[in-house]
Amino acid sequence: MLAGIQARLAAPELDRRRLVGERTGTRELVDAPDFLEADEYKIGEPEIVVDTGLDVLDGAPGVVRDESHPEPARGDVVERGERIGAAGGDHASRTLATDPLPAVAHDGVALARIHGTNGTAATTVLTVEFDPTPEQEQFRAVVRDFADGEIAPHAEAWDRDHTFPVDTVRGMGKLGLFGLPFPEEYGGSGADYLTYCIAIEEVARVDASMAITLEAGVSLGAAPFFYSGTEEQKQEYLVPMIAGEVLGAFGLTEAEAGSDAGATRTKATLDDEAGEWVVDGQKTFITNSGTAMTKCVTITARTAPHEITNIVVDSGTPGFVVQPPYRKMGWHASDTHELVFDGCRVPEDHVLGARGEGFKTFLRILDDGRIAIAALALGMARACLDASVAYAKERQAFGGPIGRYQSIAFKCADMAVAVENARNLVYKAAWLREQGRPIRDAAAMAKLYATEIAVDATRDAVQIHGGYGYIDDTPVSRFYRDAKILEIGEGTSEIQRLVLARGLGLPVE
């Protein structure tokens, strides 16, 4: 299967040069005599449109500057299977539309511009792109091929038997999925965050357990080392994580410190004489923490009364006990455990980042992770929509397909609206992150909306499938069980609403 994917990536029709930053395009002025502005551009003179970091969904104008010889587009390379190249840059950049008619709702929003020169005026049309680049769509097809061929045929059995498929997870590593948002110097692909979200979306379309394994491996396992690790730590931990050879876990949640993460009770006391941290406490609901591939878990621990620090605990360290896996409602093929630390000693240099900055680090990775979880929810909702529409066309009742009844058709229509809205929120949040702009509210919006519509979509999909939807042989049954946790993990829906209310300046507690 991987050989076929690699061959597809090497196809000659793939454009190996593309924009990875701002897109520019030339446009020409046309007569519009109703508006006058003196001393601007001559009729027919080309302009270069430069993105200024405009929100995807707003209507504010960008900056227009005159440039007779624009710089050539920066090149990038899409490489074979295990090293997918950087994705195609800013999906929300402006592209030129000489005819406003193609700027339909899904493809972009047409923005009119007025310019005048020497007694005449000119109207130009600019669009805001909502679609991923052709390279990102090609990459989507590669991940979809892998998901359909290597995950979908086995997902029901893994769910039934509570099996963590090590070989398949390593296959995702060979495909380059664990290295997507990380730079090439550590073995990553240097792709943008939207490309990473597309990968999660496509995997979630067939199995949420494998999607959360990927998401947690990247956003919670590898990302803390990339953001805060020393070069030595990056070489020891980050590089093999990016290759998909090992997994890392992030231990934040405790029995009495879930949404109130600052209430962490796990303690790490420094034994100066031995040069070791002595860790005591427990962590709950920790993903990827007990697999045969798990190399370490990064935990938050109190190192002083008002100080939280991230400490790396290697698997197999004496005093570190991984409890039996939880019996869960869903995500049966995902690995989740309680962790116990009882006099667990780790080297003093196993602090990740600066001492006392553990809380700040985890807040950063949670903001990123919420976008990725929203992408996972989007993939599940899309799968439910596709399955529901197909079933509504095929299932015969009372002399015809059930899709002819409004009670069924309207559920599908509402699902389609929800999926489209979720896609826009998720993709915008990923784009904002790539621009280096604040993402806390955008991530909260995406996670809140996408996860809640995913739960709704799975419920409606089961209803449309009737009795078959209640049978585990039908994917929507598994989706129904898998979806609920999305409203809880990496920040509950209530926490997302709290974040957004505070962003509005409300004195909410």
**DSSP code string of 53-94:** ---TT-----EEE--SSPPPPPP-----TTSPPPP-S-TT-E
N-term to C-term CA, the chain: 52
Could you read off the pLDDT of 449-479 as tens digits, one per residue? 999 999 999 999 999 999 999 999 899 999 9
pLDDT for the residue 131: 86
Contact 302, 254 (CB under 8 A): no
Q: Which helix (H) or strand (E) holds 449?
A: helix 440-465
CATH code at position 433? 1.20.140.10
At 15-64, the pLDDT tens digits run 333 333 333 333 333 333 333 333 433 334 443 333 333 333 333 333 33
pLDDT at 259: 85
The answer to whether residue 313 is domain-embedded is: no
Residue 306, in any domain of the structure: no
Nearest to 443 by CA among 435, 431, 460, 456: 431
Report percent pLDDT > 90 for the chain: 71
Amino acid 364: pLDDT: 86
Range(s) of the domain holding residue 460: 359-503
CB 446: neighbour CB atoms within 10 A?
A: 31
Give domain status of residue 321, yes or no: no
Residue 391, domain member (yes or no):
yes
Residue 337 is assigned to a structural domain of this protein? no
pLDDT at 12 over 90: no
Q: How far is C-alpha 432 from the geometric centre of its chain's CA atoms?
A: 12
CA atoms within 13 A on the CB side of 37: 13
Q: Is residue 266 assigned to a domain?
A: no
Question: Which tens digit of pLDDT belongs to each residue from 195-254?
Answer: 999 999 999 999 999 999 999 999 999 999 999 999 999 999 999 999 999 999 999 999
For residues 306 and 220, what is the distance between their CA atoms, to the nearest angstrom?
Answer: 24
Domain-terminating residue out of 90, 106, 131 = 131
For residue 322, being part of any structural domain is answered with no
> Residues with Cβ < 8 Å from 448, sequence gap 6 or more?
493, 496, 497, 500
Question: What pLDDT shows up at residue 127?
Answer: 57
Separation between Cα atoms, residue 59 and residue 37, nearest integer Å: 22
Helix (H) / strand (E) element for 385: namely helix 358-394
> How does pLDDT run across 95-150, given as a tens digit for each residue?
333 333 333 333 444 444 434 444 444 455 555 677 899 999 999 999 999 999 99
Q: Among the three residues 105, 131, 157, which one is the final residue of a domain in this structure?
A: 131
Mean of the per-residue pLDDT values of the chain:
82
Domains held by the chain: number = 2
With bands split at pLDDT 50, 70 and 90, how would you rate the model's confidence at 508? very high
Q: How far apart are CA 143 and CA 307, in angstroms?
A: 42
The two three-digit tokens of residue 436, written as one number: 């280096």
- Domain edge (last residue) among 75, 107, 131: 131
Query: What is the phi-psi region of residue 64: left when phi exceeds 0, alpha when psi lies from -120 to 50, beta otherwise?
Result: beta
Consecutive H or E run containing 270: strand 267-271
Q: What are phi and psi of 45, to 5 degrees?
A: -75, 130
Q: What is the pLDDT of residues 74-95, one digit of tens each?
A: 333 333 333 333 334 443 333 3
Pairing of strands 120-129, 108-117: antiparallel
Residue from 32, 253, 19 nearest 129 by CA: 19
For residues 29 and 282, the model is more confident at 282
**Phi and psi torsions of 210, nearest 5°:** -70, -30
Compute the distance between CA of residue 114 and CA of residue 26 in angstroms, rounded to an integer: 16
In contact, 241 and 174? CB cutoff 8 Å: no
The lowest-confidence range among 91-100, 251-260, 338-347 is: 91-100
Active-site positions read 490
Considering the domain boundaries, does residue 54 fall inside one? yes
Q: What is the DSSP letter of 483?
A: H
